[in-house]
Amino acid sequence: MLFETLGSKTRGREIFEMFYAEISEALEKNDNVKISGFEILN
């Protein structure tokens, strides 16, 4: 689990929220987002 690697569920949640924010901002600017194992989001 992610929190086992990061040390806490809170820290894992913070990192996920930062990750989600970056993707959201890119999509709002109509940038393509490539996530390995998934299709390109646009």
Instruction: Render pLDDT for 20-38 as a digit per residue (tens, 0 to 9).
Output: 999 999 999 999 888 888 7
Q: State the distance between the two ends of the chain, measured CA to CA, in whole angstroms.
A: 29
* Domain layout of the chain by residue ranges: 2-41
**What's the residue count for the chain?**
42
Nearest to 15 by CA among 1, 31, 34, 36: 1
CA distance 8 to 30: 34
Regarding pTM above 0.85, the answer is no
What confidence score (pLDDT) does residue 1 get?
Answer: 62
Show the tokens assigned to 4.
């086992």
Q: What percent of the chain has pLDDT over 70?
A: 83
